[in-house]
Structure 1
Amino acid sequence: MRLTKHGHSCIRLEKDGEVLVLDPGTFSDADAALSGADHLLITHEHPDHWDREAVAAFLGSHPDVGVLAPEPVAEALRGEVPAPERVRAVRGGERLSAGAFDLLTVGGQHALIHPQVPMVQNVGFVIDEDVYHPGDCLIVPDVVRVRTLLLPIHAPWNKIQEVIDFLIAVRAERALPIHDGLLAQNGRDVIEGHLARFGERYGTEYGTLADGEAVEL
Structure 2
Amino acid sequence: MRITKYEHAALRIDEAGRTLIIDPGSFTTPLDDLAAVVAVVITHEHPDHWNASHLDRILRAAPGVPVFSTAGVATSAADHEITVVAPGDEVTVDGFTLRFFGGQHAVIHESMPQIENLGVLVNDELYYPGDSYAVPEGVEVNTLAAPIGAPWLKIGEAMDFVLAVAPRRCFGTHDMTLSGVGLTMHRQRLQWATEQGGGTFFELDPTQSLDV
TM-score with structure 1 length normalisation? 0.92
Report whether the alignment pairs 1:80 with 2:62.
no
Amino acid at match of 1:120: I
Distance 1:55 1:184 in 2: 28
Distance 2:192 2:102 in 1: 28
Q: Which structure has the highest helix share of the two?
A: 1
Runs of 4+ in 1 over 3 A off after TM superposition: 33-36
For residue 113 of structure 1, the aligned residue among 92, 96, 108 is: 108
Contact 1:3–1:12 (8 Å) recurs in 2: yes
Contact 2:35–2:61 (8 Å) recurs in 1: no
Match of residue 149 from structure 1: 144
Match of residue 38 from structure 2: 38
Quote how far apart the aligned CAs of 1:204 are. Answer: 2.1
Report whether the alignment pairs 1:203 with 2:198.
yes
Deviations, residues 123-146 of structure 1 (Å, cap 9, x unaligned)? 110001110011000010013111
Structure 1: tracts of 5 or more residues without a match: none
Amino acid at match of 1:11: L
Match of residue 13 from structure 2: 13
Q: How many residues align?
A: 212
Match of residue 67 from structure 2: 67
Report whether the alignment pairs 1:167 with 2:166.
no
Amino acid at match of 2:89: E
Distance 2:13 2:69 in 1: 17
Counterparts in 2 of 1:34 and 1:171: CA distance versus 1, 3 Å: same
Aligned-residue identity in percent: 34
Contact 1:70–1:91 (8 Å) recurs in 2: yes
Contact 1:176–1:206 (8 Å) recurs in 2: yes
3-state SS in 2 of match to 1:124: strand
TM-score with structure 2 length normalisation? 0.94
Deviations, residues 131-169 of structure 1 (Å, cap 9, x unaligned)? 001100001001311100000011111101101000000
